[in-house]
Amino acid sequence: MLPRALLTDSVFDSVDVERQILHSVAEIERLDGGAIEDVVVQGRDCEAILNTYLGPITAELIAQLPKCKIIARYGIGVDTIDVDAATQAGIIVTNNPTYCVDEVADHAMALVLAAARKIVFYDRAVRAGLWAPTAGKPIKRLRGVTIGLVGYGNIARQVAARAAGFGMDILFSDPFVSADTPNVIGRKVELDELLVASDIISLHPPLNAATRGMFNQAVFEAMKRSAILVNVSRGGLVDMTALVAALDNGLIAGCALDTFETEPLQDDHPLRGRENVILTPHAAWYSEDALELLHRGAPSEVRRVLTGEWPIHVVNPAVRGRNRAGL
């Protein structure tokens, strides 16, 4: 009898890809209910969990999955999984950090350009019958504008490369990246300096206890009044109440957001309807190419573990040598 792999949730209409990859390795079972509590009922005898959004996968839930060897995320973030608890239980946690690096970097740069050149504002104006080339003033030449990257991982480095092509000055702040790291584009500074110096700030850190709500009232007060905030990372990085207040009080000039603490964004959310705000529906990751890589990532990692191979993208490497898969 084949091991069972539980698919908690999915953005795809079928499990054909999962069945193709896990053929002869595991039997795919889809979660019947829509609540995380249902994972305990159906996942108790499963050796693998494939997860997209459903969560949180807490320590209490993990303790009730005695046969689980791997929790494989389809996407990048693992903030919905208690990784420490998984490690203690001997469960490998994997993610899919490379499937959409180009797409998210492209989207971040598109938001930078749209906000800096006020593309959305002009589009709305022309559609409303207004033809006024200087109605969007003030607009600064992009060359020489300073962009600050908070977090300097794979995506941020690609944003830096794109920004350099436009002649922008690049700063980055990341406690885990040294200034002498090879192939670094830009200059490393402390966050305080980045906030004061940047005309545009683009967010790229992971969401965790240390970064949740890191862009709060004090941070907005430190930024330039002319600054624009761009977020294609995680909505929870930004204190949304503080952001709305910062926009209301003119602490910053505007923002361009693809991610939000609560999604979908509520119909009556105060960010809607503002001329200095650009909103996209957590779409930065999307392209047909990325979609294919997204679909194949998690089941491919499950296959590796269930066939005795160490997976490629392990979030908790400390579990190596002391996990249920014997790897």
pLDDT digits (tens, 9 = 90+) for 62-107: 999 999 999 999 999 999 999 999 999 999 999 999 999 999 999 9
Catalytic site residue from 117, 212, 274, 282: 282
pLDDT score of 33 more than 90: no
What integer pLDDT is reported at residue 259 of this predicted model? 98
- Bridge partners (DSSP) listed for residue 4: 27
What integer pLDDT is reported at residue 40 of this predicted model? 93
Dump pLDDT digits (tens) for 107-129: 999 999 999 999 999 999 999 99
Compute the distance between CA of residue 53 and CA of residue 78 in angstroms, rounded to an integer.
Answer: 10
pLDDT score of 183 more than 90: no
pLDDT score of 210 more than 90: yes
Compute the distance between CA of residue 186 and CA of residue 164 in angstroms, rounded to an integer.
Answer: 8
**Distant-in-sequence, close-in-space partners of 38: CB < 8 Å, separation ≥ 6:** 31, 32
> With the C-alpha atoms ordered 286, 194, 189, 176, is the resulting torsion angle positive or negative?
negative
What integer pLDDT is reported at residue 188 of this predicted model? 97
Compute the distance between CA of residue 100 and CA of residue 188 in angstroms, rounded to an integer.
Answer: 25
Catalytic site residue from 221, 263, 275, 292: 263
Strands 200-203, 70-73: pairing kind: unpaired
Compute the distance between CA of residue 248 and CA of residue 277 in angstroms, rounded to an integer.
Answer: 12
Q: Check if 234 is active-site.
A: yes
Report whether the peptide linkage leading into residue 138 is cis, meaning its omega lies within 30 degrees of zero. Answer: yes
Tell me the two tokens of residue 176.
Answer: 């885990």
CB 203 within 8 A of CB 237: yes
Collapsing DSSP states into helix, strand and coil, what is residue 320? coil
Compute the distance between CA of residue 323 and CA of residue 327 in angstroms, rounded to an integer.
Answer: 6
Q: What residue has token string 């898969």?
A: 325
Residue 162, phi then psi, degrees to nearest 5 = -70, -40
What integer pLDDT is reported at residue 309 of this predicted model? 98
Catalytic site residue from 73, 162, 204, 234: 234
Helix, strand, coil shares of the chain as percentages rounded to 5? 35, 15, 50
pLDDT score of 257 more than 90: yes
pLDDT score of 34 more than 90: no
What integer pLDDT is reported at residue 18 of this predicted model? 98
pLDDT score of 153 more than 90: yes
Q: What is the mean pLDDT of residues 169-191?
A: 95
What integer pLDDT is reported at residue 32 of this predicted model? 87
Q: What is the mean pLDDT of residues 44-56?
A: 96
Compute the distance between CA of residue 315 and CA of residue 324 in angstroms, rounded to an integer.
Answer: 16
Residue 60: C-alpha distances to residues 52, 57, 220 (Å): 19, 8, 37
Strands (E), 42-105: 48-51, 70-73, 92-94
Residue 283: C-alpha distances to residues 106, 217, 270 (Å): 11, 27, 21
Q: What residue has token string 């490369």?
A: 161
What integer pLDDT is reported at residue 54 of this predicted model? 95
Domains located in the chain, CATH noted: 4-99+288-319 (3.40.50.720), 101-279 (3.40.50.720)
Q: Check if 263 is active-site.
A: yes
Rounded percentage of the chain residues whose pLDDT exceeds 90: 97
Q: What is the mean pLDDT of residues 239-256?
A: 98
Mean pLDDT over each residue of the chain, to the nearest integer: 97
Dump pLDDT digits (tens) for 53-70: 999 999 999 999 999 999
